[in-house]
Structure 1
Amino acid sequence: MAEITQLGYQGIRDYIEANWNFIELKDNLGAPIVRLSTADPRVTWTHSAGAQTLELSIVVTGSDAEVTLPKTFAGSAIYTSAEATEAVTATESFSPFEMTMAEDQITVRHRIEVPQV
């Protein structure tokens, strides 16, 4: 069995960055709150070029139309489309953040390590 080379892993990372373009924030029960694509200015890939760990970041405020207050944010997952029912990454949990006011803001950085070591 052949092992994947560094060039192969970079090809996988490039594919992920080009095709895994939706991040969903979830509440403390795992229910979806909002799913946005990298076409939305609130969502960006924030890792360095060629990095082993990819990072997709999202910024949401209490005044965003997709958010009904109060809301508790506690996880994120990555999807290939707005309609996809299965995530391509496991849900990344974080300390619950309760958004109660329009001025509240949360920034989530979802990391994907390729290869995972």
Structure 2
Amino acid sequence: MAEIKSAGYQAIRDFIQSNWTYIEIKDDSDTAVLRVSPSDSRVSWIHTAGNQTLQIQIVVKGSDSDISIPQTFALSAIFDTESGGTAYSEESFTAFTMESEEDEITVVHSIQVPQV
């Protein structure tokens, strides 16, 4: 069996960061609420370059024009398409219900690609 070298794992991380670029937030019944890319000002990659764990963050506010309140958030998912497709990574978190325009949630989705 062949072994993936350290450079191979880094290439995988680079591919993920370049191509798995849509983060979706779902409610507590697994229904999509919002899917956006890092070109949206609310989304950013926040890990340190070269880390084995990639982290993409989204900050959603009750005052955002594409959010209807009250709204519950409970799961994040990563996709390579703007709509449709199959999630490559999903991460659940404690459900949070946004009830007012002053409410805000920050979700950090982590994807770990091991190093040699």
TM-score > 0.5 by shorter chain: yes
Q: Which residue of 2 aligns with 1:22?
A: 22
1:83: Cα distance to partner?
A: 1.8
Gaps spanning 5+ residues in structure 1: where? none
Q: How does 1:1-117 map to 2 (within 5 A)?
A: 1-89=1-89, 91-115=90-114
1:12: Cα distance to partner?
A: 0.2
Cα-to-partner distance string for 1:65-114 (whole Å, 9 max, x where unaligned)? 1111101100100000112321111x211001010000100000000000
2: distance between equivalents of 1:82 and 1:18? 14
Cα-to-partner distance string for 1:9-61 (whole Å, 9 max, x where unaligned)? 00000000011110000000110010110111110000001000000000000
2: distance between equivalents of 1:3 and 1:64? 46
2: distance between equivalents of 1:84 and 1:45? 22
Q: 4+ residue runs of structure 1 moved beyond 3 angstroms? A: none
Paired residue type of 1:100: E
Give aligned-pair identity as a percent.
Answer: 50
The count of aligned residue pairs is 115
Q: Alpha carbon RMSD of aligned pairs, Å? A: 1.1
Corresponding residue SS for 2:96: strand
Gaps spanning 5+ residues in structure 2: where? none
Q: What's the TM-score once normalised by structure 1's chain length?
A: 0.95
2: distance between equivalents of 1:46 and 1:104? 22
Q: What's the TM-score once normalised by structure 2's chain length?
A: 0.96
